[in-house]
Every structure is written in C-alpha cells, then in structure tokens.
Structure 1
Amino acid sequence: MLKKAPCLFGSAIILGLLLAAAGVLLLIGIPIDRIVNRQVIDQDFLGYTRDENGTEVPNAMTKSWLKPLYAMQLNIWMFNVTNVDGILKRHEKPNLHEIGPFVFDEVQEKVYHRFADNDTRVFYKNQKLYHFNKNASCPTCHLDMKVTIPNIVFQKLIDAADVTIFGVRIKFAIESVLKMVSEAPYITVKVSDALFDGYEDPIIDIVCKNKILQFLCETNSLQRRVGFFYGQNGTTDGIYEVDAGVPSPSKIGHLYTWNNMTEMPEGTWDTKYARMINGTDGQLFSPMLKREDRLTIFVPQICRSIQMEYTKDVAVNGVPSWRYAPPLDLYDPALPQNRAFCNKNGMPRYFDNTTVQIENCLPAGLIDLSRCQAGNPRVYLSNPHFYNSPMELWHSVTGLSVPTASNDLTVVDIEPTAGVPTQAKRIMQINVGMVKGSLSVTENTTNVVVPVLWMNETAYFDQGTRDQLINIFNAKHYSFIGGVISLSLGLIAWLAVFVVIIVYSRQSDEEEYGRLVLEDEDEEPAQDENAVLA
C-alpha cells in the first residue's frame, strides 16, 4: 500500500489541479460565456428563418419586434391653473393643482416594414394606439373633465403684436379681437381635447376673418386645432431605416435615416452637429453591452438625439439588468457642446440672473421644441417638477411637488448580454413659455415657464422575454455555482493530499524512531555481556 502512495498522491494532485482550474474557468465564466454569447449573437438579428415546411417566416426576434408583447401604459397628470385672475390682476405666480393620473393602455405595432441592402437594413413605421383606462385612472379622472392651461394661440398673438404692416403695428387689431372673447392668456378645455383630440380656440376664427390679422392664418403661424398629443393616436412618427444586425450584431438598431433624412432640416438647430440623426431608434440595443459606453437614442418628437449612461445594477422581476439614465450634463447650456441647442436668433428671458439663464438659451434642463413643431409654439420639455433644473424655475410657480429622482427621471433597464430592455420609463413634463409682451391684458404679468402636464410612459417585458433572459442568467448562475463546487473539490483534494503526506511523514518518523530505539535496546545486552566477559 505504501509503495502505491506516490501514485495515489500524484493522481490526487493532478485531479485537484484539474478541478481547481475548471472551477476558476467557470467562476470567470469563460466556457459558459462563450456558449451563451454565441447563442445570443446567432439569434440577435432581424430577418427570416425557415419553418419545418421550408417556408420562410420571420425569426423569433423579428416577430416580437413587429408586434411587441410588452405591457405598456401612458400615465398623464394635468396641471390646472387655479388663479388666473390673480395672475392677470395682482402679479401672482401661477398656482398649479396636479390632477391624475389619466391612464392610457398602449399598443405598438409595426404597420410597415421592408428589408433592403441584402437584408442588412430594414425600413419601418411604428404605430402607437392609446386607449383610456378608466379603472386604472384616479377615481375622479375622466376625459370630459375641464382644466385651465396656458393658451398657446394667445402667445402667438403676443409675438404678432410687435409686427408692423405698412408702417402700422397690428397691436391695435389684436386688442380689438381680445375684447370679443372671454379667455385669452389661459384657456379652459376638456382633458381629451388638451391631449389627443385637440381643440379649436375661439380666437382663431375671429383672427382669420380679420383683414389685418388673417396673414397669421395664411402663414400657418396659428394652428387651427391645438392639442399637446394631437394627431399622435393611431398614427406613426415617420419612417425609420435601421441596421438589421447582419452581419454585425453590434450594429443592430443603428439608425441610418429618419423620413429619408440623415440630419434634421437646417432651421431646426443652429449647427450640423446638433441636427445629426444618429444612435439607435430606442427599440433595439446591441448585445454585450459595456458599462462605460453611453447609449445614443434619436427621438423624433424632440428632433434630436439624446444620450443615456449606466447608473447602477438593478433586478427587474428577477432578471439582472443595467439601469441607464440621461447624464446630468445633457441639457446644460453652459457646456459648449450643448450651445447648439440654444437659439442664436434669441430666446425670451425668464430670469435676469445669467447663472440661471444664459443669453439665447433656456435654463438648464429645458429643451426648446418651438423649432421642432408646426407653427413654432413656445413649448419646452423638461423633467417633471423641474427635476435637475435650477430651483428658480420651481419657485416661479406654486403648487408643484418636490422633485425626486425616483419619480421624475427617465430610465431604461437593459439585460446587458442580450441587449434586451426589461423595463423603460419615459418621463417628461411639457411646459409653455408665457411672455408678457405689450398687450394690455398681460401688463401685470411677468415672463414665466408654466407646466401643463407631466407623463410617465412605461413598458415592462412580457413573460416570454423574461423566461428567455432568465435562461441566460441561470446558465451563468449555475456556471458560478459549478465553479465554486469544482474549485472547492480541487482545494479539498489538495488539502487531503497534504494531510495524508503530513500524517504519513509523521508515521514514518515514528517508525524510524521506534526502529532506532529497538536497535539500541538490542545492542545494550551484547555490550553488557562483553563487559562481563572482560
């Protein structure tokens, strides 16, 4: 048995080494990562496959892309202005009463798609449908409820009052028109009309019939029907041309053109850089994400691309994900790269303090949509409750809740291996810039940015997508567990060998010591006998 010990020890050491090596490899994920990543990459593209009958059909990813099964909702809170008389007569700040949520169930579907360039690119239109969900809305919320909001049409008259025609300012004609209507700077409308249905301002008909003012209608400065989401229910937001992920999965979703344009029209922003159409369409993301990389997304509704950066690890219904949010510097006009989104032709001053509002720019956190919308209305986008904007904006009105990151920040959670969104929240606030102007009705007011509504459009992944992502997680999780077990067994094998060697060495030493003692005892009588004989 002892003769076989070296062979057994050698075998145990080799086995321990192999187990430890396998454990290390499993812990750092090399074998399983390669297998999982290869499977993800092989399936991560838009295109076709063949069924059991040999018929060409959209692959699984394309099917879910054409008609997403995500649970989607649009929640809207309206801001009702409660003190119009105080604003117009007593220099009061606008007081806002938040009402909501008005909940709309959302369904998206690609109503058109066409592959091009050997199926490496795809053109598509994305349709959105919104259905009011009374049961999910607040108990008192209904679409016929009336709210008082800033009047966008009136702001166009404010601007026109300083226009001169044939040497005569048209302010007098506008003042005459305003005497014929009961509402002007603020208007009371139904919620449904303020959102998707649109409303007809009574001022418009009077203005269009006035010989002096009718040019405003002829030049489309005044929109016949006004609604903050008017024309966006049951319609598409343009034609996208994106990369299909073939032959490069890392380029999937990359946006090449929108409405056949590679950049926005020249009048949209002041520089070519700002007008670039780049990034992705916001629906598809490349697999194998890296934390240090920012995501660039083109948003047609605001006529520009935005960036999202990694903020932290999260778990969405058990699926480990990375959370992305807009960086703090995204809408800061103090940075040179953001000056292109200001307006070199001038911007109304809402604050005299240049640390709050830079010349020709809006305060930080606000996006000017005026050049992005028909009729150039003075509409600005921001985070709800002016989160991440100067506190002067929040203090310029009353009634706003205190902003918080958990409630007022757009985020998207993505499973990084597959690049699949597990949850997305598009959160924003729509505001109207109210300018005092030179009309008599606004002589007691000041320039102010007034919130109209804020919204939270949320999408959660479906159970089928969750199951697929859980399989990816489980493969890596079980790989980790297997690595721990394998490494532990390897270390135990080594430890066992060392223990046996130590025990064996001690036994050998004891046997050697015992042998020497016995030899000494055997020799002593002989010495005594010799001594006697001597």
Structure 2
Amino acid sequence: MGCNRNCGLIAGAVIGAVLAVFGGILMPVGDMLIEKTIKKESVLEEGTIAFKNWVKAGANVYRQFWIFDVQNPEEVAVNSSKIKVKQRGPYTYRVRYLAKDIISQDSKTHTVSFQRPKGAIFEPSLSVGTENDTFTVLNLAVAATPHLYPSTFVQIILNVFIKNSNSFMFQKRTLKELLWGYKDPFLSSVPYSIPTTVGVFYPYNNTADGVYKVFNGKDDISKVARIDTYKGKKHLSYWPSYCGMINGTDGATFPPFIEKNRVLQFFSADICRSFYAVFGAEINLKGIPVYRFVLPSRIFASPLQNPDNHCFCTEKIISKGCTLYGVLDISKCKEGKPVYISLPHFLHASPEIAELIEGLSPNEEEHSTYLDVEPITGFTLQFAQRMQINILVKPAKNIVALKDLKHNYLVPILWLNEYNNTADGVYKVFNGKDDISKVARIDTYKGKK
C-alpha cells in the first residue's frame, strides 16, 4: 500500500492541479474541467498520470521490525512459566522499490494484470543494530511439529531428530536468519524430502506477489484499482462465506472524490484477507488536507461483539470457542503452520490472550493502522500498516522440547510497521484557473525558480 515519493506531487499537480503538493494549497474543484481531468488522469492505462505513478516503484516505502527477545527460555520450557519478552528495534528495510510487472492490459474487460516483485534492503541508518544482532526466539520448526504432524507415531520418530540435533523450544537466531530464512538443524537431519529452510518471511527476496487483476476505471471511475481477481480467484479458500471475498484495492489508491462516510476496503495478501478502514480525522499533511482512515477495533472482534466476524473464527483453542477477540488464525493460509496475526502488543485483544506474556504495553498511537488519503484524487499519501506475528505452541508429550508445557502459549515473535515517507520539498505550481496553458507548471521549488 502507499504512494511513491512523487506520486502526490505529479498526480496532484497534473490532475487538474488540485494540489500544490507538499506544502501548497488545496485549490477549489468546482470547475467541471478540473473534475473531468481528474477522472481522465485517474484511469490506470498507458499515458495517464495515475498509471505512471501506480506502476513505478515506491522507493520510499519502509518496513520496520521489532523483535520480541525472550528473557527466560529455560523457565518456560521446564516450568511452564510466563514468557518474559523484551522488545528490540526498530530494524528497518526498504521495500517496494521494484516496479510492478505488468502482465497484460485488457481493453474489453477494462482490467490490468500485474505481479508485485518482492525485495528488502537493510537500512543501517534507520536501525538500532545490524542484521547480525542475535535474539532468543521461539524455535519455529519445533513449535510447528505437533500442528503439522498430529500423528503420535510420526511425532515419536521426529522427536529422535529433535533430540539428536540439540533443538529446544527456544533458540538463538540473528535478525537476518529469523526474517529471511536459515537451514534448520532438526529439519536438515530428517532423512526424508522435506523443506529444511525456515524463516518468518521465507521465501521473500526474488519472489513476486500476485497475479493481481484490477479494474482500470476506464468505463467506471468508481471501480479504478479495485481488485477483480487474485491469483485467478475472486474468493479465498481459507475462509467460508463472505469472509473469503477479495474486496477493494491494494490500499495504494482508491477511486477519486472520497467522502468521510466512505468505508475504504483493501486486500492484504500478507494477512490473507480483506480489511476495511473508516474515517477517523482530518489531517494537515505538509499543507495538504487529507482524510485519515483507521482500522477499527471491530476488525478483530469476536462474533459475540461483531456477528459479521463469525466466519473468521476457525479455531477454538485461543479464541475459547470464539468468545475471545484480538487475534486471527491464518494457519490455513500458511500451509498449516500455527500462525496468528494481531495488532502489535495485542492491542484491542482480550486480556486473556496475553496473560502468559510479560513485557507488553499496547498503545493506540504506536500500534494502530491508518491511511492518510487525499480525498479528491484518492491517493494514499501517507500510511502506517502495523501487525504482529504470533505462533501457537501447545504441549506435546511425545516431543521432549514441549512435553513439560502446561499451557497453550500464543508466543509473539515480532511486530512490524510498514510506512512511507512523503517528504520531498515544497512545490508551488500554477492551477490553470486563469490560464489553462499554465496548468501544473512549477512556479518555484523550495522557494526557488
């Protein structure tokens, strides 16, 4: 989600000079010519300003990580104590620096198909340490074993390899290993053909997300950027009923002329579901009036609080029969691995969810998700997308590393903040109101001609 460094500038200026971007003034838009120009240039097809900025890489999008470093691993594994964690971060990577790979443009269906290449470049100047910093974290392979192999016989066999490889409930890993992958000693010792590389985001670099097919808005501007299919499907198989619907855009842009009562829908492939945001406040972003849309707490509410969420409750262990709230089981989307998503520090979650974890301090300002959308063009000029990745660990009497546990633990691994940086000087441009031939022409940049 999000705009690249110049999309607010170019789109705002050229699309009818609605915005004097990054420090300018929002101009009146009553003129029909300006409205017509906005609609024309918002279409996602070759030659429009929107298409140019939508395709090119968002070189100023970053992803920050905070790792939960476990302080008492032996106490937990032996005595089933509460897990004490210490947050360490941020460690920052530049992401979305690769342009979209356009596969096809269909003039009959008014759609564009594309893939989004993935890549992450470490940014030392924006990080508290290096990629070689070491953390005590959950052993991902050991924790997943009872979930992936419920058979008692198979667990007894795998336990031999876990013991022989000196693998335990917790392990020490570098930041780079934890995020992007490492050869797990337990899995590598198993004499069968199984994947041996483990990592929270493995595989990531040199892969691509998609294929997405989105509407270009040519026939109906209210549909611009809306996803038609993802990987050839209109409905995700992970969720029953309407919960599996792929709704809205990817969050980078929305149809123009947004009103405060609009519910903005967007899809996140990382979290395997569609979300929505509601109006929260008017914000002045470097001189540009924008609408801040926020993810409401009802997103992760239990079916008792929000009946619309009944089809997102697919497990009974953590949710206690779908009565607790604040986490989402996405294991079906992650090949059966026991992955749960929440807001950072279990913000807006039932107190019982985090009762076995010490060291958390949720707060709205640091841990909520928002999008700052320019209402006339529909561009997301600034955003912060935050989420936490947790792993469910349950007792397993046939696996020595987990046999002494007396509780089901929802162990926080890390939380992340994906955000953009919109700063790019102060532009002053002509709006074309008195002379249309001057529209979007830059008068000064940073006060200079």
Both structures adopt the same fold (TM-score exceeding 0.5) = yes
Q: TM-score, normalised by structure 1?
A: 0.70
Partner of 2:39 in structure 1? 41
Single out whichever of 307-316 and 436-445 deviates more from structure 2. 436-445
Deviation at 1:150, TM superposition (A): 1.4
- Indicate conservation of the 8 Å contact 1:160/1:171, yes or no: no
Amino acid of the structure 2 residue aligned with 1:224: T
Alignment partner of 2:100: what SS? strand
Q: Distance in 2 between matches of 1:71 and 1:247?
A: 32
Equivalent residue for 2:75, pick from 86, 105, 120? 86
Q: TM-score, normalised by structure 2?
A: 0.83
Partner of 1:409 in structure 2? 368
- Indicate conservation of the 8 Å contact 1:161/1:174, yes or no: no
Equivalent residue for 1:142, pick from 127, 130, 135? 130
Alignment partner of 1:367: what SS? strand
Q: Does 1:383 align with 2:343?
A: yes
- Indicate conservation of the 8 Å contact 1:47/1:119, yes or no: no
Alignment partner of 1:95: what SS? strand
Amino acid of the structure 2 residue aligned with 1:229: F
Deviation at 1:236, TM superposition (A): 1.6
- Indicate conservation of the 8 Å contact 1:152/1:377, yes or no: no
Counterparts of residues 119-518 of structure 1 (less than 5 Å): 120-138=110-128, 141-159=129-147, 162-164=150-152, 169-196=153-180, 198-206=181-189, 208-209=190-191, 214=192, 223-265=195-237, 268-269=238-239, 271-334=240-303, 335-343=306-314, 346-347=315-316, 349-350=317-318, 357-359=319-321, 361=322, 363-374=324-335, 376-400=336-360, 402-439=361-398, 440-445=400-405, 446-461=407-422, 463=424
Q: Distance in 1 between matches of 2:109 and 2:158?
A: 57
Single out whichever of 107-116 and 406-415 deviates more from structure 2. 107-116
Q: Distance in 1 between matches of 2:422 and 2:233?
A: 31
Structure 1 spans left out of the alignment, 5+ residues: 1-28, 49-57, 351-356, 473-534
Amino acid of the structure 1 residue aligned with 2:230: W
Amino acid of the structure 2 residue aligned with 1:244: N
Q: Distance in 1 between matches of 2:285 and 2:71?
A: 40
- Indicate conservation of the 8 Å contact 2:137/2:413, yes or no: yes
Q: CA RMSD in A?
A: 2.5
Deviation per CA, 1:293-321, whole angstroms, max 9, x where unpaired? 21111111222111111111111111110
Change in Cα spacing, 1:253 to 1:224, as seen in structure 2 (3 Å) is same
Deviation at 1:382, TM superposition (A): 0.7
Deviation at 1:80, TM superposition (A): 1.2
Change in Cα spacing, 1:88 to 1:64, as seen in structure 2 (3 Å) is same
Q: Distance in 2 between matches of 1:358 and 1:238?
A: 34
Change in Cα spacing, 1:69 to 1:188, as seen in structure 2 (3 Å) is closer
Aligned length: 401
Amino acid of the structure 1 residue aligned with 2:363: T
Deviation at 1:429, TM superposition (A): 0.8
Change in Cα spacing, 1:274 to 1:119, as seen in structure 2 (3 Å) is closer
Alignment partner of 2:83: what SS? coil
- Indicate conservation of the 8 Å contact 2:99/2:117, yes or no: yes
- Indicate conservation of the 8 Å contact 2:142/2:162, yes or no: no
Alignment partner of 1:177: what SS? helix
Alignment partner of 2:66: what SS? strand
Deviation at 1:193, TM superposition (A): 1.1
- Indicate conservation of the 8 Å contact 1:384/1:403, yes or no: yes
Q: Distance in 2 between matches of 1:235 and 1:403?
A: 33
Alignment partner of 1:231: what SS? coil
Q: Distance in 2 between matches of 1:76 and 1:98?
A: 10
Equivalent residue for 2:93, pick from 104, 108, 130? 104
Poorly superposed stretches of 4+, deviation over 4 Å: 466-472
Deviation per CA, 1:138-165, whole angstroms, max 9, x where unpaired? 1xx111122121122212333467515x
- Indicate conservation of the 8 Å contact 2:42/2:49, yes or no: no
